[in-house]
Amino acid sequence: MDMKETSKYEKRGVSATKDEVHEAIKDLDKGLYPLAFCKILPDVVGSDDQYCNIMHADTAGTKTSLAYMYWRETGDLSVWHGISQDAIVMNVDDMACVGCTDGIVLSSTIGRNKNLIPGAVIAALIEGTTMFIESMREQGIALHLSGGETADVGDIVRTIDAGFTTFARLPRKELVVNQIQGGDVIVGLSSTGQTTYENAYNSGVGSNGLTAARHDVLNKSYAENFPESFDPNTDASVVFTGPHRMLDPSPVQDLTVGKALLSPTRTYLPVLKALYGELKDHIHGVIHCTGGGQTKVKKFIANKRVIKNDLFPVPPFFQMIREASGTEWKEMYQVFNMGHRMEIYLPEDKAAKVIEIAGNFSLDAKVIGHVEESKGESVTIETDQGTYTY
């Protein structure tokens, strides 16, 4: 472990940058297009050089620990529906960044502590999966559940871990491969509000930074009541240090603190499918602001400086975290999406069309920055609170 990493996020056993992971995999094959947002493979299924394969795997992360505490405190099993959506979206929205918005096969992997997680929770997760697939079908997007694995691994998993592996085969001509250019503008797609395909207001939380959000917002009683919800090796000074309980009102529209923390990760699949239908040939890059928050794009550029100087106002959810934690703004922008979770890079004269298409889904969008040529790669965020360079 790099002992120089001393942020509160690192003290909780997680990393915004995952530097040690990237170092471990630096020599692995990067696929057909090294700067693509997902690894793109040759068509190993059909052996057709006009096609490619995309396979991805991700989980809902530590958001399952939040769902566990909320369910235990309220008895509300429906909270697990959102966890299924979280895990699926963290896969399919990454795949959508390379142009794959349809015909995706899903396989679930659930690891549970059987002593704490009954079959009713597994049933709720499966029900949530079906609900999300149906909601996407209504948008003309086909997701296919192939099955999955549920393992009783209480010796390893404290409560429950929920993830998916996803696969698709598509023509290479449909790919969107990052070729972000100097002169591009960045259109951000909001992470908050309520789109036409959502049934509730979204706080914007997504599925990143939940370890920080959980411990910074909720109070010490959760450590006492649910010691199984966190790693016992964690420094006690950063465990549940906030002022709130789950059922307290939050500053987010009509949501309690617990519901704001557990707001399901928004998918941008319907919007991206529409964008590609009209603008694919003009789009130079699509970035899903997940691990690394607003600095995520740095991994997908070469000799470019990304300048974000007109971000969305910081949403109430992230203001709540900031006020509860006192976390430095520079770290906030590296851990959380801070108001938009999807970025479109393209020529300035096409930005208005992106904003119009997003508006058709009641999704806020705006130009949040631009790209410059540079020696090396960097991201600069200019805000009222200060300017931060990564």
Pairwise CA distance, residues 162 & 64, whole Å: 7
Q: Residue 213 has which token pair?
A: 């959000």
Q: Over the range 192-214, which residues count as b (16 or more CB within 10 Å of their CB) and which as e?
A: bbebebbeebbbbbbbbbbbbbb
Find all residues with CB under 8 Å of 80, minimum gap 6, and list them. Answer: 67, 71, 121, 124, 125, 128
To 10 degrees, the CA torsion angle through 166, 169, 173, 179?
Answer: 30
CA distances in angstroms from 17 to 116, 204, 260, 285, listed in the order given: 32, 21, 25, 21
CA distance 38 to 31: 9
Spell out the domain ranges in the chain: 8-389
In degrees, rounded to 5, the angle at the alpha carbon of residue 44 between the alpha carbons of residues 61 and 48 is 130
Closest CA to 102 of 340, 267, 323, 349: 267
Q: Measure the CA–CA gap between 126 and 154, rounded to whole angstroms.
A: 20
Q: What separation, in Å, do the N-terminal and C-terminal C-alpha atoms of the chain show? A: 21
Contact 161, 111 (CB under 8 A): yes
CATH class name, domain 8-389 = alpha beta
The residue written with tokens 């790099």 in the block is 2
Per-residue pLDDT of the chain (390 residues; tens, 9 = 90+): 333 345 665 665 665 555 554 455 554 667 899 999 999 999 999 999 999 999 999 999 999 999 999 999 999 999 999 999 999 999 999 999 999 999 999 999 999 999 999 999 999 999 999 999 999 999 999 999 999 999 999 999 999 999 999 999 999 999 999 999 999 999 999 999 999 999 999 999 999 999 999 999 999 999 999 999 999 999 999 999 999 999 999 999 999 999 999 999 999 999 999 999 999 999 999 999 999 999 999 999 999 999 999 999 999 999 999 999 999 999 999 999 999 999 999 999 999 999 999 999 999 999 999 999 999 999 999 999 999 999
Determine the residue type at 114. Answer: K
